[in-house]
Structure 1
Amino acid sequence: MESSMSQKFTLVYASLLGVGGLMGYLKRGSKISLVAGGGSAALFYYVYTELPGNPVLASSIGIVGSAALTGMMGSRYLRTRKVMPARVVSVVSLVMTGAYLHGIIRTARST
């Protein structure tokens, strides 16, 4: 079965978050980064697996998760002005929030 574009982006997003959390742990010994990155990656991997069968539920979970990351990392960027990882994750998360919203709207229109 071929993956949709939404699934591909979600898998890349989950990987980015997981690798980012691991890098935070390896570079600075931040267990919080490891847990937050790993937990976020697991959440978005779940979204990835649910998108084909239940796109509205999966996209709703994706919106909540990515909007939360946008807020948290955006606030961190405003505090620290560090592009990596705060600004990058907040911008990517904002884009993903819009993508999940678009998916819900598109699904609602087609039913």
Structure 2
Amino acid sequence: MGYVKSGSSKSLISGGLSALVLYFVHTQLPTNPVLASSVGLGISAALLFVMGSRFKKSGKIFPAGVVSLVSLIMTGGYAHGILRSSHA
């Protein structure tokens, strides 16, 4: 969205890299859930931090607020997945 709105190549590259990492997480979850959840936790926490600080600074719901909320939910989901997989 940052690229569309302002032509920011940085937004395009960081969004693409995040998507690639999350695709890797998606493909690895069935075979290696702890590794995939750990990587997912890291990327979700990073997105939560970056987009949360942007939301706090700008107060704009889209895209920073939406991405922050989704990242918060996914961070909890990945943490739950790690705890669940390590007890199995």
Partner residue, 1:93: 71
**Contiguous gaps of at least 5 residues in structure 2:** none
Q: Deviations 1:60-103 (Å, cap 9, x if unpaired)?
A: 00111100110110001111111111110011001000000111
SS in 2 for 1:52: coil
| Ranges in structure 1 where 5+ consecutive residues have no aligned partner | 1-22
**Runs of 4+ with >3 A deviation:** none
Whole-Å separation in 2 of the counterparts to 1:77 and 1:26? 18
Alignment-mate amino acid for residue 45 of structure 1 = Y
1:109 Cα deviation from its structure 2 partner: 1.6
> Does 1:54 find its partner at 2:36?
no
The RMSD of aligned alpha carbons is: 0.9
Alignment of 1:35-74 (within 5 A): 35-74=13-52
Identity of aligned residues (%): 57
Counterpart amino acid of residue 39 in structure 1: L
With normalisation by structure 2, the TM-score equals 0.95
Structure 2 counterparts to residues 70-81 of structure 1, below 5 A: 70-81=48-59
Q: Which has the higher contact order (CA 8 A, sep 6+)?
A: 2
